[in-house]
Amino acid sequence: MRPEQVTKFKLQLEAKKRDLVHTILQLEDNGLRAALSNTTGELSAYDNHPADLGSETFERGKDLGLRDNERVLLRSVEHALDKIHQGTYGRCDSCGAEIANERLEALPWATQCKECQAESEQIDVTPRPLEEESLAPPFHRSFLDSDRVDSVGYDGEDAWQDVARYGSSDTPQDIPGTYDYKALFLNSNEHQGIVDLADAIPNEPGSTSNHARKRRQKEDKETGR
């Protein structure tokens, strides 16, 4: 590559670097340096429905994505400038072949030829974490009813049912087969406090258990369980 060409690309890369640094600083100064609670006025987001902070969360995620993209591009520009200083600019990092001038005109920070770039994009796949083999499916290890029919202990399924009774962001239209908000969790029609239906039979007529059983039967009839 002729020296005048290298000088031209160097000026383009330096200008691109200044623009990227300016954009990154602008994104950070316009909100990313401040906590999300400062812009929403909320002390915490844990007790809010996800939709309540949907717009704010989306905008914060978008700004983070834009900044990270600029950072990745900045690293490529700085790498290309390093190659200029080393005298290797215009040659592919992988095969050593000369990069087409048309490619450099479009992407001055390109450090691989078209063929090597296409090959690296095909094989550059992030491997899945090894822990997934022992953890999948999520929470299944604590759901004992499916593996042990005789299990009556308090397990992960019971814990989720206790929490889900207080509501979640799901609605009946989100869960197939549900008909009201009381049926939005796994096995919501299970009787609470008993292992077998016979346990609900009171020892004495007119006792509290008998009234509770009739009340449950009435609720089941009304909800169609």
* Full pLDDT tens readout for the chain, 225 residues: 788 999 999 999 999 999 999 999 988 887 777 776 666 666 665 656 666 677 777 888 888 889 999 999 999 999 999 999 999 999 999 999 999 999 999 999 999 999 998 888 776 566 777 776 776 565 556 666 666 666 667 777 778 778 877 777 778 777 777 777 777 776 777 766 666 677 666 665 555 555 555 666 666 666 665
Supply 11's token pair: 């000026």
Are 145 and 155 in contact by the 8 Å Cβ rule? The answer is yes
What's the pLDDT at 218? 65
Q: What is the DSSP string of the chain?
A: --HHHHHHHHHHHHHHHHHHHHHHHHHIIIIITS-HHHHH--S-STTS-GGGGHHHHHHHHHHHHHHHHHHHHHHHHHHHHHHHHHT-TTB-TTT-PBPPHHHHHH-TT--S-HHHHHHHHHH--PPPPTTHHHHPSTTGGG--TTT-TT--S--HHHHHHHHHTT--S--TTTSTT--SGGG-STTTTPPTT-SSGGGGS-SSTTSHHHHHHHHHHHHHHHHT-
Q: Which residues contact 84 (CB under 8 A, 6 or more apart)?
A: 6, 9, 10, 13
pLDDT value at position 167? Answer: 75
Rounded Cα–Cα distance for residues 92 and 117 (Å): 9
Q: Name residue, tokens 């090894």.
A: 130
**What end-to-end distance do the CA atoms of the chain give, in Å?**
79
CA atoms within 13 A on the CB side of 191: 18
pLDDT, residue 206, reads 52
Determine the pLDDT at residue 145: 62
In the prediction, which pLDDT does 219 show?
67
- Identify residue 223 by its one-letter amino acid code: T
Going from N- to C-terminal start, the domains of the chain cover 3-114, 139-223
Q: Are 119 and 112 in contact (CB under 8 A)?
A: no
The residues facing 98 across adjacent strands are 91
- The architecture of the domain spanning 3-114 is Up-down Bundle (1.20)
CA distance 167 to 103: 56
* Cβ pair 157, 186 in contact under 8 A: yes
